[in-house]
Structure 1
Amino acid sequence: MITGSQVALVTPMLDNGDIDWEKLDKLVDFHLAQGTDAIVAVGTTGESATLNCNEHCDVIQRVVKRVAGRIAVIAGTGANSTSEAIELTLAAKAAGADACLLVTPYYNKPTQEGLFQHYKTVAEAVDIPQILYNVPGRTACDMLPETVLRLSRITNIVGIKEATGDLDRAKYLIDNSPQGFAVYSGDDATAVELMLLGGHGNISVTANVAPKAMAELCRSAIDGNKVEARELNSKLDPLHQDLFLESNPIPVKWALHEMGLVDAGIRLPLTPLAEEKRDILKKTLSLCALI
């Protein structure tokens, strides 16, 4: 089981929107040095929605090669087409990813039975550990706990990234899922409490800018050290909030640019962080001793 702080890695880009492969390598090295437990490549934060299929697969392959087995690599391979999700998941397996993260199909709004059949079909088609990803605020599709528990009985469906921030739902999944099925937070603001309830880690936006602190936070929370975990989280809470001043990954890419780790590139229809919000985030980065 993959546990701990799992960074939802940005895909660095040049000002013209091309992928910056050199900076991608450096970001991977940064996380290896800072103690991140796993890297999620080409998820929502990695701008999966605007990378073409070849770029998507190339980023996964590049991250796997750079990590070289030192930590786990989870490849984002979800799609609103089941056949496309299978294609991406096959490519991730061929690239050597340790697991795949599959977001619920977006826009077409499947039924709960449709969700079950979608994930079952992908799991049966590709023999690699697969993590469900529920984020209805972005997909307009909410995978209910009962559907998750049905899917948890499929051998290579090994966990869920639950990004609703609903701790009652998370506790229900933790208490009722089979042994070996991981429940991860996908919401930095509530992640510490989910882990203290028995969750297994956090797939994090904040970890992009504060990887060492997030790794320490996750270890404390998973170990059940409530006082220490909450104290660490209180220091990071301004980041949890301000990295969502605009749609993710707009603020986090600007923050990484301010930290000198990436260029300012981002792809349309996303645009750089609005001028009037930059001072807010800059003050938060300074408060957290990141600039």
Structure 2
Amino acid sequence: TALITPFREDGALDWSALDAQIDFQLESPVTAIVPGGSIGEFTAMSLDERRNMIARCVSRIDGKLLVVAGTADENPATALELTRDAAKLGVDAVMVKLPHYFGLMPDEAFWFFQALDDVGCPFVVYNNPSTTRHDLSGDTLERVSTLEHFVALKEAAVSTTHFYERLHRFGGRFPVIAGAEDCVFFALLAGAPACMTATAAFSPSFMRAMYEAVQRSDLGRARELHCRLWEFRRLLRRRAGTGHPAYVTYTKAAMEILGLPAGPPRPPLLPLDEPERQVLRRVLVDTMGLGERGSFSDHLLPRERRID
């Protein structure tokens, strides 16, 4: 699960809401949490806030789930510093993307990952071209895969062909994790061992149901669940297509609607207005079949719309 970062109305980090979110994930069918990723608004947080949030997660999880801390930063030195701090705090791994303000040449990209490897902490490479405007080449990943502490790739390119090419080339050597909800069904069907997405922040049971449907080869059911998830994604895409991080505002609004504390996004991002919240509520409850606190029972969801 990629965690959101809960803020109060005055903009301060809401520690009690963070604790509640962690406890919710501990009660849920997930194997890892990722604090400080894109959905966690890390670009709007100070370095001290990010350190303290990682420390809080490690302490409260207490080994019951894997903690994969987001330590990306536009300043490579800051990313390396935060990675060192996260390792000392006891995370299981970190997740990083390339600094992207300046487009990097392949040797420059590899230099960054090599410097990260020197820290000595297991790391997941996060490839998210829609955010970074940079798509890691297969040849660069080939070089990164030789590094001692590289453990997995989170692939968030929104292309089934792209994902399958990654899986075909590297799937037998390291985990290629599905990171784009728009095509998560196809990624799991192709053989992705896991998915790491934001919807699990408000309904891990829904995402687990889709994963398990694929694992038991109930593909009609898995596709039906993905069609329902797609209705949520369609709301985001109206804004995300312009470069707006709609996944932050919609995920936080979804959590609040379902009774999970999230708070507003940090300015300049604005919360959803009431008319859009009502549209979102209908999608969450009527289309996705979610209940209080994101509860979801696959066997209770009507199957009339199942696609076989």
Answer whether TM exceeds 0.5 for this pair: yes
- Normalized against structure 1, the TM-score is what? 0.91
**Aligned 8 A contact 1:161 1:183 in 2:** yes
Which residue, out of 33, 36, 41, partners 1:39?
Answer: 33
Task: State the shift of 1:205 in Å.
Answer: 1.1
Which residue, out of 22, 35, 50, partners 1:28?
Answer: 22
| Unpaired segments ≥5 residues, structure 2 | 240-245, 293-308
Which residue, out of 162, 165, 172, partners 1:169?
Answer: 162
The farther-off stretch of 236-245 and 28-37 is 236-245
How has the CA–CA distance of structure 1 residues 88 and 224 changed in structure 2, closer, same or farther, with 3 Å as cutoff? farther
Structure 2 counterparts to residues 46-125 of structure 1, below 5 A: 46-124=40-118
Task: State the shift of 1:53 in Å.
Answer: 0.2
1:213 paired with 2:214, answer: no
Measure, in 2, the Cα distance between the counterparts of 1:228 and 1:73.
30
- Read off the aligned partner of 1:289 and give its amino acid letter: L
**Bigger RCO (CA 8 Å, 6+ sep):** 1
Task: State the shift of 1:276 in Å.
Answer: 4.0
Measure, in 1, the Cα distance between the counterparts of 2:83 and 2:267.
25
Measure, in 1, the Cα distance between the counterparts of 2:122 and 2:214.
24
- Read off the aligned partner of 1:134 and give its amino acid letter: N
Task: State the shift of 1:241 in Å.
Answer: 3.1
Q: Give the secondary structure class of the aligned counterpart of 1:131.
A: strand
How has the CA–CA distance of structure 1 residues 26 and 13 changed in structure 2, closer, same or farther, with 3 Å as cutoff? same
Task: State the shift of 1:28 in Å.
Answer: 1.0
Please give the per-residue CA displacement for 1:142-172, whole angstroms capped at 9, x wherever unaligned: 2122212221121211111111112222222
Which residue of 1 is the match for residue 259 of structure 2?
A: 260
How has the CA–CA distance of structure 1 residues 250 and 244 changed in structure 2, closer, same or farther, with 3 Å as cutoff? farther
Please give the per-residue CA displacement for 1:176-198, whole angstroms capped at 9, x wherever unaligned: 22744111111112012112212
Measure, in 2, the Cα distance between the counterparts of 1:227 and 1:213.
15
Which residue of 2 is the match for residue 151 of structure 1?
A: 144
Please give the per-residue CA displacement for 1:72-120, whole angstroms capped at 9, x wherever unaligned: 1110011222211110111111111111110121222212221111111
RMSD: 1.9
Q: Give the secondary structure class of the aligned counterpart of 2:191.
A: coil
Which residue of 2 is the match for residue 239 of structure 1?
A: 232
1:279 paired with 2:278, answer: yes
- Normalized against structure 2, the TM-score is what? 0.86
Which residue of 2 is the match for residue 3 of structure 1?
A: none
1:141 paired with 2:142, answer: no
Identity %: 29
How has the CA–CA distance of structure 1 residues 158 and 284 changed in structure 2, closer, same or farther, with 3 Å as cutoff? same
Task: State the shift of 1:234 in Å.
Answer: 3.0
Measure, in 1, the Cα distance between the counterparts of 2:23 and 2:237.
25
**Aligned 8 A contact 2:122 2:149 in 1:** yes
The farther-off stretch of 171-180 and 208-217 is 171-180
Measure, in 1, the Cα distance between the counterparts of 2:291 and 2:15.
23
Measure, in 2, the Cα distance between the counterparts of 1:201 and 1:283.
28
- Read off the aligned partner of 2:291 and give its amino acid letter: L
Which residue of 1 is the match for residue 183 of structure 2?
A: 190
Measure, in 2, the Cα distance between the counterparts of 1:59 and 1:225.
39
Measure, in 2, the Cα distance between the counterparts of 1:234 and 1:178.
26
Bigger proportion of residues as strand: 1
Measure, in 1, the Cα distance between the counterparts of 2:98 and 2:205.
30
Measure, in 2, the Cα distance between the counterparts of 1:241 and 1:151.
34
Please give the per-residue CA displacement for 1:18-57, whole angstroms capped at 9, x wherever unaligned: 1111111111111111212210101000010011000001
Larger Rg: 2
Measure, in 2, the Cα distance between the counterparts of 1:180 and 1:29.
34
| Unpaired segments ≥5 residues, structure 1 | 1-6
Which residue of 1 is the match for residue 290 of structure 2?
A: 289
Q: Give the secondary structure class of the aligned counterpart of 1:13.
A: coil
How has the CA–CA distance of structure 1 residues 222 and 115 changed in structure 2, closer, same or farther, with 3 Å as cutoff? farther
Task: State the shift of 1:225 in Å.
Answer: 4.8
Q: How many residues align?
A: 284
- Read off the aligned partner of 1:133 and give its amino acid letter: Y
Which residue of 1 is the match for residue 301 of structure 2?
A: none
**Aligned 8 A contact 1:16 1:265 in 2:** no
Task: State the shift of 1:255 in Å.
Answer: 1.3
Q: Give the secondary structure class of the aligned counterpart of 1:195.
A: helix
Task: State the shift of 1:238 in Å.
Answer: 2.1
Please give the per-residue CA displacement for 1:3-31, whole angstroms capped at 9, x wherever unaligned: xxxx1110111111111111111111111
